[in-house]
């Protein structure tokens, strides 16, 4: 972590790189390196890593989370079970981040979702599904376009096309207002990017799609794992419910100030990240020779640390297989101080969307727990590695209305 240098390098996602090069696109924030990466990062960090900037999105995040709560009430069966809750949470993640990035609702929770919304859902799902096999399988698509590659490109092209359409709507709106002439601190991310000179219009679209793709799977699966843990640990769930009711109330919005007072919520999140780190590893290509454990690791080596293994190491955590959020309470907990939270990465290449993701995750979970008591009586759910760490089976939970 201390050896990453000014421009940290990490391995690229080869299918994404190949797709972008074949379309004449820049590699974007995720896959670019050096000064090119720094150009993207510097522009975005001004709007995405400052807590005060994130506060402006609280109303949208709360509204989308309340829409999810209502949707869960519609799809749950008479016995309160919900089949396919994974899709509903995926739609929530897409709608939530899309509303922030494109400054417009996508419409995933409309009573009759628009064609645009249905296409966005379908193509984003398809993009992730095909990316998995391309990323972990032999890169035959680089030699000749395989069927899986062509399907992936079809989904990818459509996602970028839809993203471009949303950006164009905002461009048209800005052209009719004086807002187009400012990069004010009060402007939202897309408006800020369009008004700045560092990125071309196409690069704005590509960057927003990058951010969206990076957010959906990670955010949705983090919420899914947290809900599962709450459903299987009723004492922890009631602690969170009581805290939400005390800090937010029965009908209030989850604000930045409220989140700062939620010690129970923070400990639950950290414990879920420990046991089920959605981004299961962190890595760097080291810029110089380093000594570690008596071994010399040469410059240019790809070094990867398994967050899953570290989180379950008894040398770092007492009784690591037990879900115990209380281990994170207290500022001077020696057990926790051995290992910093790396769920969102570290250093200069820490997840650029961390602040927004935390706000979305905590707001969504708080809104759900305030409305429903979660129960689960099915078989144990274990993690499996796909693009991110996901449950190995559908989680059929009960969402029992609290009132």
Q: What is the pLDDT of residues 24-57, one digit of tens each?
A: 998 989 999 999 999 999 989 988 988 888 888 9
pLDDT surpasses 70 at 3:
no
Task: Answer whether residue 351 shows pLDDT above 80.
Answer: yes
121, pLDDT greater than 90: yes
Taking 60 as the threshold, does the pLDDT of residue 366 lie above it? yes
Residue 58: which pLDDT band, with cuts at 50, 70 and 90? very high
* Structural Rg of the chain based on CA atoms: 21
Average pLDDT over residues 1-16: 81
The mean of the pLDDT values for the chain is 89
Q: What is the pLDDT of residue 364?
A: 95
* Contact yes or no for 4/286 (Cβ under 8 A): yes
Residue-wise pLDDT for 188-237, tens only, equals: 888 888 888 788 889 999 999 999 988 899 999 999 999 999 999 999 99
CA gap 244, 278 in Å, rounded: 25
| pLDDT tens digits along 88-108 | 999 999 999 999 999 889 999
* Residues 346-367 as b or e (16 or more Cβ within 10 Å = b): beebebbbebbbbbbbbbbbbb
Report d(CA 313, CA 261) in Å as an integer: 30
pLDDT of residue 2: 58
List, in order of start, the domains of the chain with CATH numbers.
14-401 (1.10.630.10)
- In this prediction the pTM is 0.92
| Rounded Cα distance, 70 and 82, in Å | 13
Residue with tokens 């759900």: 368
The CA-based diameter of the chain, rounded to the nearest angstrom, is: 64
Please tell me what DSSP assigns to residue 344. Answer: T
Percent of the chain residues past pLDDT 70, beyond the cut: 93
CA distance 364 to 310: 27
Q: How confident is the model at residue 182 (pLDDT cuts 50, 70, 90)?
A: very low
Average pLDDT score over residue span 266-272: 91
Task: Give, in degrees to the nearest 5, the angle at Cα 340 between 339 and 342.
Answer: 115
Does residue 180 have a pLDDT over 60? no
Query: With 70 as the cut, is the pLDDT of residue 128 above it?
Result: yes
pLDDT (mean) for 145-151 = 96
The per-residue pLDDT for 183 is 45
pLDDT at 196: 81
Q: What is the pLDDT of residues 288-340, one digit of tens each?
A: 898 888 999 999 999 888 999 999 999 989 999 999 999 888 654 555 555 55
Residue 16 has pLDDT above 60, yes or no: yes
Average pLDDT over residues 234-249: 93
pLDDT at 1 over 80: no
- Confidence tier at 368 by pLDDT (50, 70, 90): very high
Residue 84 CB: number of other CB atoms within 10 A? 12
Count the Cβ atoms, other than its own, within 10 Å of residue 339: 15
Under the banding of pLDDT at 50, 70 and 90, the label for residue 266 is confident
């Amino acid at each position: 972590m201390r050896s990453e240098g000014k421009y940290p390098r990490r391995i690229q996602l080869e299918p994404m790189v190949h797709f972008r090069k074949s379309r004449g696109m820049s590699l974007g924030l995720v896959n670019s390196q050096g000064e090119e990466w720094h150009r993207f990062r510097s522009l975005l960090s001004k709007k995405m890593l400052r807590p005060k900037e994130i506060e402006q999105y609280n109303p949208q995040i709360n509204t989308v989370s309340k829409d999810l709560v209502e949707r869960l009430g519609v799809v749950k069966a008479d016995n309160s079970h919900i089949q396919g809750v994974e899709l509903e949470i995926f739609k929530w993640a897409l709608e939530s981040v899309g509303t922030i990035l494109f400054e417009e609702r996508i419409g995933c929770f409309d009573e009759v979702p628009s064609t645009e919304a249905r296409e966005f859902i379908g193509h984003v799902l398809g993009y992730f599904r095909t990316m998995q096999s391309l990323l972990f399988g032999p890169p035959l698509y680089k030699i000749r376009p395989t069927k899986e590659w062509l399907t992936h490109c079809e989904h990818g092209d459509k996602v970028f096309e839809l993203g471009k359409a949303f950006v164009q709507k905002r461009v048209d709106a800005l052209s009719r207002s004086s807002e187009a002439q400012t990069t004010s601190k009060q402007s939202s991310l897309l408006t800020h990017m369009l008004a700045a000179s560092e990125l071309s219009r196409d690069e704005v679209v590509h960057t927003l799609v990058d951010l969206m793709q990076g957010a959906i799977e990670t955010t949705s699966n983090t919420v899914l794992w947290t809900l599962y843990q709450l459903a299987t640990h009723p004492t922890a769930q009631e602690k969170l419910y009581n805290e939400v009711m005390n800090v937010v109330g029965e009908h209030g919005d989850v604000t930045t100030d409220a989140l700062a007072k939620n010690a129970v919520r923070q400990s639950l999140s950290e414990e879920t990240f420990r046991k089920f780190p959605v981004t299961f590893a962190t890595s760097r290509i080291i810029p110089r020779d380093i000594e570690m454990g008596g071994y010399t690791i040469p410059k240019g080596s790809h070094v990867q640390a398994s967050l899953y293994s570290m989180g379950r190491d008894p040398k770092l955590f007492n009784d690591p297989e037990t879900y115990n959020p209380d281990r994170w309470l207290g500022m001077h907990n020696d057990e926790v101080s051995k290992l910093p939270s790396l769920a969102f990465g570290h250093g200069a290449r820490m997840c650029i969307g961390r602040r927004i993701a935390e706000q979305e995750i905590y707001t969504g979970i708080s809104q759900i727990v305030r409305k429903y008591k979660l129960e689960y009586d099915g078989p144990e759910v274990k993690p499996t590695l796909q693009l991110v760490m996901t449950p190995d089976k559908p989680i059929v939970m009960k969402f029992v209305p609290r009132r």
